[in-house]
Structure 1
Amino acid sequence: MNIKQVESRQQLEDAYNIRKIVFVEEQNVPMEEEMDEHDETSIHFVGYDPEGKPVAASRLRFVDEYGKLERICVLKDVRGNHYGQQIIGEMEKRILIEGYQKAKLNGQTHAEDFYKNLGYETVSGEFMDAGIPHVTMIKKL
């Protein structure tokens, strides 16, 4: 997968479209919750498959001492190709470049083992976000 840190309007639209498909259409998250005030100031990433089709997206913010990984998603028909792992790796590299040593995310509980396999540790109990159970996880980079 070719992962780009969003630099153009088209790349941003590609990232937003993937998020809309995964979170709004597939998981029934209301659009007004999915797209929020942090989109304007976040660093966005978009991943393209070998044919150039956008298939993965995420955003990164810096909150307190953490790089906060958010809105990580991969289109359903290409899951299982390690695209989520790859985009997280790019986000972690950017966190280190910015001088931070810790990453944090609020992951959906069904993906908790996926994040654990990438070195994240659960540090909260379960909570609901957009009607979906989540846990907070952290990783020292």
Structure 2
Amino acid sequence: MEVVVASSDSQKQDALKVRSKVFIDEQNVPEEEEIDQYENDCTHFVVYDGEKTIGAGRLRFVEDYAKVERVCILKEYRGSGVGKLLMQKMETVSSESSVNQLVLHAQTQAEQFYSKLGYETYSDVFMDAGIPHVAMKKSV
């Protein structure tokens, strides 16, 4: 498994393909909500298993924090440590910038995953794209 910072259009397209499979096809998120106005302003990450794209995520730098967004792993790879590898890479890249905090909106079914990585919930449950979420943060 390899986590890369997308540096080419084809790698960004790989990220969008896996996001589409997970969020649009599997979770029924409308495409217009999944692909948004921030795509060109983010640092995109792609996880490969050989030639196969199996995960993705993006970082959006906002003022003094980085927002972790669109983190997803193909269903057949969940629970195997791929998500942790992806988050570690995203955290490493964010630590090389001037931010001191990471923020994310986690689906409630993934809240425990992020808690194990040191993220703390700081909101009540809210709906986003028809899916329950909580806001979480971590100091870096």
Preserved CA contact (<8 Å) 2:64 2:98: no
Identity of aligned residues (%): 46
* C-alpha distance in 2 between matches for 1:109 and 1:62: 23
Within a 5 Å distance, the mapping from 1:17-96 to structure 2 comes to 17-49=17-49, 51-96=50-95
Name the CA distance, whole Å, in 2 between partners of 1:101 and 1:90: 16
Contact 2:103 2:136 in 1 (8 A): yes
Q: CA deviation at 1:62?
A: 1.0
Give secondary structure in 2 for the equivalent of 1:111: helix
Q: Name stretches of at least 5 consecutive residues in structure 1 with no aligned partner.
A: none
Q: Give secondary structure in 1 for the equivalent of 2:11.
A: helix
Give the partner amino acid of 1:77: E
- In the alignment, is the contact (CA less than 8 A) between 2:2 and 2:48 conserved in 1? yes
Q: Return the TM-score normalized by structure 1.
A: 0.97
The count of residues paired between Structure 1 and Structure 2 equals 140
- Corresponding residue of 1:108: 107
CA distance in 2 between counterparts of 1:95 and 1:4 reads 14
User: Could you tell me which amino acid in structure 2 is paired with residue 128 of structure 1?
Assistant: M
2:18 aligned with 1:10:
no
Question: Which amino acid in the other structure matches residue 90 of structure 2?
Answer: M
List runs of 5+ in structure 2 lacking aligned partners. Answer: none
SS in 2 for 1:37: coil
TM-score when scaled to structure 2?
0.97
